[in-house]
A and B are shown apart, each in its own frame.
Chain A
Amino acid sequence: MIRQANAVDFWRGLALVMIFVNHIPGNYYGRFTHASYSISDSADLFVFLAGWALRHLVGTPERQPPTWYLVLRLGGRAVTLYAAQIMITMIALAMLASVAILRDNPLLLEWHNAAAVFHDPIPTHVGLAAITHQLGYFDILPLYVVLMVMAPGIAIVDRFAPNLLLPLSLLIYGITLAVPISIPTWPVDGQWFFNPLAWQLVFVLGFVMARPTGIGGVVRQHIVPIRIVALPILIGFVFVMRYGWWPDPTWFPQPRLFFLFDKTFVTPPRVIQFLALVAVISVAYPTIQRYGPRLVDFLSMLGRNSLYVFCVGSVLSLAGQILRYLYRGDIVIDTVVVIFGIAMMAVTAWLPEWRERVKGRPAPKLAPSS
C-alpha cells in the first residue's frame, strides 16, 4: 500500500532535489536553492526528517512494537544504508576512473577524496569498507548509517525515559563541541565531514518534535508565537549569509565552535537558523498542497523512495560534474543536467511504486507467437 502524499515526504523530496542541484558545484541553478540564503542546507532537513520518520517507526505510547523488533528493524535499515553507501561509492570511483582513462587526465582521480583509492588502494579499500574513507559528496550516508546504529538506543531511551532523551543528546553535542571531539578518517588523515556525535542532535530534534506530547506538543501548541520569533531570526541570517554580517571567527571566546558556522559540527548558529527555518517554512505546506497538488504528489513520491532517489541523485550529480568538466559547463549544460537528473530521480521513485501496484495483479497476457 503506497502512502498518501504528506508533509514529511514532500519536504524530504524537496531536500533530495536540492541536494542533487547543490552537489554540482558551479551549477547555475544552485543559486535558487535555499543553501544560497541559509546557513543550514538540505543536509540538515534530510537528517531532521530522518529523525521525524523514526518516530513513526517507534510508534505512539499506546501502540509500541516490542523492543527486539525495533532493534532488528533499525539494524536492518543500517545494513541497507551501508550497502547503498558501498554501491554508490564504487559506481562513483568507476565513473572517475573511466573519465580519467578516456580523457587521459589523472586529475580526475583526485576528485572528491578519491586519490587515495587509486594511489594507495590496499589500506584505502579497508577504509572504504569500514566507511572511514568517504568520497566528497558521498559522505552523508555514513552519517545516516551511524545514526541508524544509534537509533535503537534513542528509541529505548525515549520509551523508558522520554524526558531524558533531548538533554542527553544536548549533553553529547555540547561535549563534542567543547572538547572538540572529531571522528577521524583513515587511512587519509582527516575527520568525518559530518560528525555523528554532533549531528545526532538534529536527528533527535526531528524525533522529539514529531512526538505529539512533550516538546513536540509544546511546539505545536505555541507554533504561532514561535513563528513570530523565528521569522526575524531567519531574515537576519539571510543578511548574515549574503553580506557576511557575522563577527570574525577569531574574535570569539573559547570554545569557539559554539559560535562558528560549521557544517561538520553543525554548530549552534546553524541549528538555531535551521529550527527557525523549519518553524517558518512548515506553514507553507497546506497552501502548496492546495494550489500545487501535482507538485506535492511529485515531491512526495521522491520522498517516499528517498534512499533509492538519494543514491541515484548522488551518482547523477557526479555525472553532472563530469559533464560540466567535459563541456565547460554553462547554463545550457546545467539546464540539461538538472532536467534530466530530476526526471531520472522521478523514474527511480516511480519504478518501485509501479512494482508495488502491479504486485498481485495477474501478469499481462503474452501475444501469441506466430
Chain B
Amino acid sequence: MPAPFSRDCQVGSTATASESPLPNVAAALRDKRKLKILAIGASPSAGRRSARGGHTGETKDILQQAIRGLDVEMINRGVSGELAAQAAIRIRNEVALHEPELVLWQVGTNDALIYVPLGELEQTIVETLRWLKERKVDVVLVGLQYVDRMAQDDHYRLVRELIRKIAAQENVIAVRRYEAQRLLAQAADSGGGLVPDEFQRSETGYVCLSQYLARAITLGVFGGNLRPRELQNLPPRPQN
C-alpha cells in the first residue's frame, strides 16, 4: 500500500513524483535488512517540528507505518543553503561511510538562486547520479521549491526543467515539489487551502514533502500499478 497523504497535502498529490524503480531499496526490504536512507542537500531536515527530526523524521515514520516490519535508519547530512557541487563531494564521502541503500537529494534551489550555470549544474548532478548507480545506491531527487516570486524567473524555470530532464534521462525518481507546492498555492489563492500566506505555505510544504517522499519511495519499491487510494477523495481541483 502506498504511503498516505494528509488532507492538506492531497491538493498537491497528483503532481508529486515521476515513477522509477528503486531496486536496491526493494532488495533491502526483500532481505529484511535495515533500510539506510541518506538525506543530503539543501535543508532536508529544515522546517516545522525539527526537534522531532524535521521532515526526514516524518518520512521515516510514514514509511515504517506504511510498510509492516520495515526498519528505517535516516542519516541526515543536509546543509541548508548548500550548492549541488558541494553536496556532490559530500555524497561520495557519506556513501562511503554509511553505505545507504537510498539517497534523498534535495537539489537545485540554491543553485538557481545564485545563478550557477546550467551546464555546470547538469554535469554535477549527472556525474553524481551515475556514480551512485554504479555503487548500487538508489536516488530520489527532490526538486525546487515553489514561491510566487520565482515563478517568473527564467533561470529558476530552466533549473526546474533541467532537474526533470535529468531524472527522466537517468531513470531516477524526482519528487515534483514545485508543482505540488504550486497546486497548494493555487488552492490557497482560490480559498480552498488552509495556508494563505506564502511564508506559511513554505512551512506547510515541508510537512507535505515528507508525505510525497514516502509515497515516491513506496511506489518506487512496489511499482506504479498501485494507485493511491486518497486520490478518490481529492477535493475539487483549483482552477488556474
Contact = CB atoms under 8 A, between A and B. Distances in A.
A249 B92 contact: yes
Interface stretch (B4-12, B22-30, B163-171, B195-203): B195-203
B115 interface: yes
Contacts of A249: 92-93, 95-96
A111 B80 contact: yes
A51 B108 CA distance: 39
Interface stretch (B49-57, B62-70, B214-222, B230-238): B49-57
A243 B82 CA distance: 23
Given A26-B114, A110-B42, A113-B81, A188 B202 contact: no
Contact of A26 (B48, B74, B116, B198): B116
A260 B198 contact: no
Nearest to A108: B113
Interface string A311-345: 00000000001001100110000000000000000
Given A119-B46, A124-B50, A260-B93, A107 B135 contact: no
Interface residues of A, number: 44
Contacts of B76: 188-190
A18 B201 CA distance: 38
B96 A324 contact: no
A105 B150 contact: yes
A115 interface: yes
Given A105-B147, A112-B81, A119 B97 contact: no
* Most-contacted residue by chain A among B50, B54, B115, B135 (CB, 10 A): B50
Contact of B78 (A103, A190, A257): A190
Q: How large is the interface on B (under 10, 10 to 19, 20 to 34, 35 or more residues)?
A: 35 or more
Nearest to A133: B50
B139 to A, nearest CB: 15
A188 B77 CA distance: 10
Contact of A250 (B48, B86, B96): B96
Given A120-B49, A256-B97, A136 B198 contact: no
A111 B199 contact: no
Nearest to B97: A256
Contact of B47 (A26, A116, A191, A324): A116
A252 to B, nearest CB: 7
Contacts of A248: 92
A110 B92 contact: no
Given A188-B54, A249-B93, A329-B114, A104 B80 contact: no
B113 A325 contact: yes
A262 interface: yes
B43 interface: yes
Contacts of A114: 80-81
24 contacts: A104-B148, A105-B149, A110-B80, A110-B145, A112-B81, A113-B43, A115-B43, A115-B47, A116-B50, A116-B54, A119-B47, A188-B46, A189-B45, A189-B50, A189-B56, A189-B74, A189-B76, A190-B77, A190-B78, A190-B79, A250-B92, A250-B135, A324-B115, A325-B114
Interface of A: 25-26, 100, 103-107, 109-116, 118-120, 123-124, 136, 180, 186-191, 193, 248-250, 252, 256-257, 260-262, 321, 324-325, 328-329
Closest 4 A-B residue pairs measured CB to CB? A115-B46, A249-B96, A187-B51, A106-B202
